[in-house]
């Protein structure tokens, strides 16, 4: 019986593993490549690059004047493992039942406020005085609760930056920085905290809103300009269609509410898109601004700061712009110099990155 020998030991040694393959000759497989040297015909493999994590989280004051990057290194501020609440917000699923029907039926899904937990490490490699300064800066950001207004969405901000861009979440501190002195929690120039924040508006959003402006060319001639070059026939029209079914692209993955500013003098304005019909039949006087906020959290209509719902038709309907391309129509009455409409919205996302 012929045999195959597999050499897996040191050079010169043979492991007597016998495989009966009934071949005419036996094969020797040398796991040490003869003298245990690399085969020069095999080129070296290139190094495999490691993954580059572009994610960085910062905590900043509501006005952006003070910002703390949780990047570690010599900064003395680091986000430790175990953070939660940075991706999808929690939801409440409402269902109903019908006698004789197995299971239930889906009624609605309500997005709830978001809770964020951040394990933070603060320290100084230089001195206790520097550590106290780092501690005071951080504490000053999270404890800015003295002048909260009704309807405010937060007292500070989390800012997430990554290869997908920048996203902001307005939050309010709930607890975790009460302090635990000594032991595994803190020392003379270092401390760790498990901070809890709540985001009453649960979506991440862009730092600045997107803005679109619409206006009528000043001094447009509706009948003729006296040169005989104006096209005929023409007719007097009480309004000008600035844009009909204009494509309005909206970034993000969450519907977003709009704000409108109508700059007078404008006799009347109409804005329509699916779910929304806003008509201002009384217009806006010269030099004044009508501001309409459609977000249910802060819905209002004000003319130079004064409540002005009477200028908007009772049958007005409001709906958010959807992610993707929306078709919007704007009609402005024949207006004077400086008149127009400004439309704003802020892109939103479900997750930090």
pLDDT tens for 1-41 read 455 444 445 555 544 444 445 555 445 444 555 455 556 56
The Cα 302–Cα 30 span in angstroms is: 87
260 to each of 249, 301, 335, how far by Cα in Å? 17, 9, 17
The Cα 163–Cα 202 span in angstroms is: 22
Task: Find, among 219, 224, 214, the residue nearest to 337 by Cα.
Answer: 219
The Cα 276–Cα 232 span in angstroms is: 36
What's the topology of domain 56-95+107-202? Elongation Factor Tu (Ef-tu); domain 3 (2.40.30)
pLDDT tens for 60-76 read 999 999 999 998 777 79
Task: Find, among 83, 115, 69, 351, the residue nearest to 193 by Cα.
Answer: 83
pLDDT tens for 157-216 read 999 999 999 999 999 999 999 988 888 889 999 999 999 999 999 999 999 999 999 876
In the chain, ranges of CATH 2.60.120.860 domains:
210-347
Across 269-274, average pLDDT: 94
The Cα 289–Cα 100 span in angstroms is: 58
Backbone angles phi, psi at 240, to 5 degrees: -125, 130
Weakest-pLDDT range from 37-46, 123-132, 207-216, 229-238? 229-238
Mean pLDDT of the chain: 84
pLDDT tens for 102-113 read 999 999 999 999
**Can you point out the beta strands (E) in 14-55?**
18-19, 28-30
Domain 210-347 has CATH 2.60.120.860: yes
In the chain, ranges of CATH 2.40.30.200 domains:
56-95+107-202
């Amino acid at each position: 019986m012929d045999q195959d020998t597999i050499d897996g030991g040191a050079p010169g040694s043979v492991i007597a593993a016998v495989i009966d393959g009934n071949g005419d000759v036996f094969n020797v497989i040398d796991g040490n490549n003869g003298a245990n040297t690399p085969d020069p015909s095999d080129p070296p493999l290139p190094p495999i690059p490691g993954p580059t994590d572009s994610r960085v989280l910062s905590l900043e004051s509501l006005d952006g004047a003070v910002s703390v990057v949780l990047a570690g290194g010599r900064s003395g501020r680091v986000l430790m493992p175990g953070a939660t609440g940075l991706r999808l917000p929690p939801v409440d699923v409402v269902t109903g039942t019908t006698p004789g029907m197995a299971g239930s039926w889906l009624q609605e899904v309500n997005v709830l406020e978001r809770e964020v937990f951040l394990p933070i490490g603060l320290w100084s490699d230089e001195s206790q005085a520097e550590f106290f300064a780092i501690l005071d800066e951080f504490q000053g950001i999270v404890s800015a609760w003295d002048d909260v207004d009704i309807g405010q969405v937060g007292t500070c901000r989390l800012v997430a930056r990554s290869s997908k861009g920048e996203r902001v979440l307005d939050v309010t501190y709930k607890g975790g920085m009460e302090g635990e002195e000594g032991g595994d929690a803190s020392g003379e120039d270092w401390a760790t905290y498990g901070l809890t924040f709540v985001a009453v508006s649960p979506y991440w959003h862009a730092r600045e809103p997107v803005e679109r402006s619409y206006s009528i060319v000043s001094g447009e001639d509706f009948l003729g300009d006296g040169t005989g070059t104006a096209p005929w026939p023409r007719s007097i029209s009480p309004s000008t269609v600035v844009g009909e079914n204009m494509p309005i692209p909206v970034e993000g993955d969450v519907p977003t509410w709009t704000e409108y500013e109508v700059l007078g003098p404008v006799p009347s304005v109409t804005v329509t898109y699916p779910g929304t019909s806003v008509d201002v039949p009384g217009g806006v006087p010269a030099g004044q601004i009508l501001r309409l906020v459609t977000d249910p959290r802060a819905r209002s209509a004000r003319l130079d700061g004064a409540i002005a719902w009477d200028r908007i038709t009772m049958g007005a309907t409001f709906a958010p712009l959807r992610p993707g391309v929306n078709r919007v129509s704007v009609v402005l009455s024949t207006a004077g110099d400086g008149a127009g409409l400004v439309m704003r919205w802020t892109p939103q996302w479900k997750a930090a990155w």
